[in-house]
Structure 1
Amino acid sequence: MLRGMVDIISRSEWGARAPRSRQTTSWSARTEFIVHYSAGPPSQTPRQIQAFHMDSNGWSDVGYNFLIDTDGKIYEGRGWLVVGAHATGHNTSGIGACFIGGNGDATPATRKAIRALYDEANRKAGRTLKIRGHRDVGSTDCPGDDLYAWVRDGMPADGAGEADGGGGGSGGGGQVPPWPGVYLSYPPITRHPAVSTWQGRMRERGWSLTVDGAYGARSRSVCSAFQREKGLTVDGIVGPDTWRVAWTAPIT
């Protein structure tokens, strides 16, 4: 078992074959976290997926960096810093995390594990990686509509996505707008339509903030204060969790 902030079942524990070759990269080159599904039954094993990739596809190893099952178990694939074979043009920049199953098979435990793996990747990288579904970087249905809806919403830590209705809580704002996939930060000033959406929501919550579509020093200050109030990581950046909580947390 590989122990860090998350427990990962090592290659030796699940009986992985030795790779034919391997190419490593660095954390400075890692910029994104890409979610996949195997599109097969949840009963598949990492060994079966590796065998298909090596024997049928002719690859050097299983294509993904990590695999996650319906019980929320995380299996080491190629690992953190070995270049994968999961998304053409994004194998060096992207960490590939594959759910073992098809559309609609992912469980709350699956989502919780993927989110924990993503948080660990950010911790190791020392910065926030972009969240992607495979279909964001290639012509594919992967990772399925169900899991992709959650990915698109920023992979909320509670496992809920747009399909779960969002919102809730006394004084909350109803359904959460889809996560825009853009981190709002300063410096430099971030200019994006999502900035106005977030600024407008913060004004609704009672914060003194001009809705101008420019995320600058004042927006960062409000964000940090809001994060501190709600027990979030205080970094002054509107990421998936801060975005979601702006709509779901009770207004106090």
Structure 2
Amino acid sequence: MPVASAAEGDAMHVDHPELDRRTLLRAGLGAATVAVVGSQLALPAAAQAAPGADLDWIIGCDEWGARPPADPLSVSAIPTNKIIVHHMAFPNVTDYSEAQAVKLAHDCQDLHMDGNGWSDTGQHFTISRGGYVLEGRHGSLARLQAGDRQMISAHCPGENGRAIGIENEGTYVTDTPPEDLLDSLVTLCTTICRQYGLHAHDIFGHWDFRTTLCPGAQFYRLFPAVRRRVLRKLGTHLSDVPARRWPDLWRFVSSPAVRVAQYLLAYRGYAVTPNSTFDAATVTAVADWQARNGIPVDVDATLTAPTWETLAPELDTHATGLPVQAVQFILNWKGYPDVVVTGEYDHATRKAVQDLQALHGLPRNGKVSTSTWCALVGGVVRQSFRHH
């Protein structure tokens, strides 16, 4: 059975359910979760939503023969606000059959339960390379049908109570997923958006919220195209897309984008070490920056849109120093190996910035505008939906 490394996939990340309790406390809901008893969810009447779309195309846990959860699972008491897409760091098999998809679901559940010690499969849904969509964590399909709250999961610490996790079979650091997988990903993301009231600009990658090589650099390059397809299926008008949708990083996540924020906080004079960990010094600096700039101070140091937009300086190709180091670090992490962190805006950096700008429909001028910063740290810009 393949085992994903901590750097490449989700399999070996530690499950931190306490992060979700903090999420609930932050929302003023205490431990207002709902236990799963067998396959039944005892939700309060107010939480019940009207039945949603026909989801018969998703292979449920009972259908693929999932093991029962080792411990009771819970339903989140806070709203879902994003989708996080993963690759599994499993082999890129050429067996596209339903039998392989079922084997994949079993292998993943066994790895998560027996290897990681989790209660069940970590993610909500799984997509095979043949395009089969399977329920991962028990209860996820019922919650999707209801469109009210999600199962608290284990796919991304800090986001497990508010992000739907989708695992995709394969490893996509240097390869791209098959078309059947991409087609099913678009269909599943569209369905999740409809059921939970989300948008195409609410689709992110795992490494936007966690220090990992998942979902793989080549897969991640396809995300703007995936979002465009979801936008079209949802029928969303371009005017309803925000100019920029920044990743809402907060003190319970660690990721390459956190290090970018740390570089920028250090540039602004704060004693913060760029280490990708949302540590106490970073929390203090974010709160101080928000207060000094008339931005509401977030109790969990969330990097809100006004925080990012005041923190990130626009750079031309003559820039030097910490902001350029931030750009170079995130470019190198996200698939531009020729970019080295020097603090000098060299040719390799400019070329990579221009490539990123083209990918997101931004002017290919090599200057790091606010929208380019947004794309760099994993956010979504409106221009990416105009781009074809």
How high is the TM-score relative to the length of structure 2? Answer: 0.41
* Counterpart for residue 76 of structure 2: 25
Q: CA 1:35 to 1:123, structure 2 compared with 1: closer, same or farther past 3 Å?
A: same
Which amino acid counterpart does residue 34 of structure 1 have in structure 2? I
Q: Is residue 119 of structure 2 the alignment partner of residue 60 of structure 1? A: yes
Q: Which residue of 1 aligns with 2:239?
A: none
Q: How does 1:213-232 map to 2 (within 5 A)?
A: none
Aligned pair partner of 1:82 in 151, 154, 158: 151
**Would the alpha carbon gap of residues 180 and 14 (structure 1) be closer, same or farther in structure 2, given more than 3 Å must change?**
farther
User: In the alignment, does 2:65 pair up with 1:15?
Assistant: yes
Please give the secondary structure, in 2, of the residue aligned with 1:40: coil
CA gap 1:4/1:45 in 2 versus in 1, 3 angstroms? same
Asked if 1:182 is matched to 2:182, the reply is: no
**Which has a greater percent of helix?**
2
Q: CA deviation at 1:246?
A: 2.7
Does the 8 Å CA contact 1:70/1:107 hold for their aligned counterparts?
Answer: yes
> What does 1:124-139 align with in structure 2 at a 5 Å threshold?
124-128=195-199, 130-139=202-211
Larger radius of gyration: 2
Q: Deviation string for 1:33-83 (max 9, x for gaps)?
A: 000011011446110110011011100001110000111110001214211
Q: Which residue pairs with 2:386 in the alignment?
A: 246
> Is contact 1:10–1:76 with CA below 8 Å preserved after alignment?
yes
Distance 1:181 1:116, change over 3 A: farther
Query: Partner amino acid for 1:73?
Result: Y
SS in 1 for 2:86: strand
Q: Does structure 1 retain, via aligned residues, the 8 Å contact 2:224–2:384? A: no
Equivalent in 155, 159, 169 of residue 100 of structure 1: 169
Whole-Å separation in 1 of the counterparts to 2:55 and 2:108: 26
Q: Deviations over 1:85-119 (max 9, x none)?
A: 01010001110000011112511111111111111
Query: Structure 2 stretches of 5 or more lacking a match?
Result: 1-51, 94-102, 145-149, 231-241, 247-304, 310-356, 362-369, 371-379
The aligned counterpart of 2:271 is none
1:17 alignment partner, SS class: coil
Q: Which runs of 5+ in 1 are unaligned?
A: 159-178, 184-189, 202-212, 214-238
Q: CA deviation at 1:10?
A: 0.7
Deviations 1:207-238 (A, max 9, x none): xxxxxx9xxxxxxxxxxxxxxxxxxxxxxxxx
What SS class does the counterpart of residue 124 from structure 1 fall into? helix
Q: Which residue of 1 aligns with 2:221?
A: 149
The residue type equivalent to 2:162 in the other structure is S
Q: Of residues 31, 34, 39 in structure 1, which corresponds to 2:89?
A: 39
Q: Quick one: which amino acid aligns to residue 102 of structure 1?
A: T
Q: Please identify runs of 4+ aligned residues in structure 1 that moved more than 4 A.
A: 242-245
> 2:245 is aligned with what amino acid?
V
* CA gap 1:35/1:6 in 2 versus in 1, 3 angstroms: farther
Task: Tell me which amino acid in the other structure corresponds to 1:131.
Answer: I
Contact in 2 for aligned 1:131/1:181 (Cα 8 Å): no
Aligned AA for 1:123? R
CA distance in 2, matches of 1:67, 1:101: 11
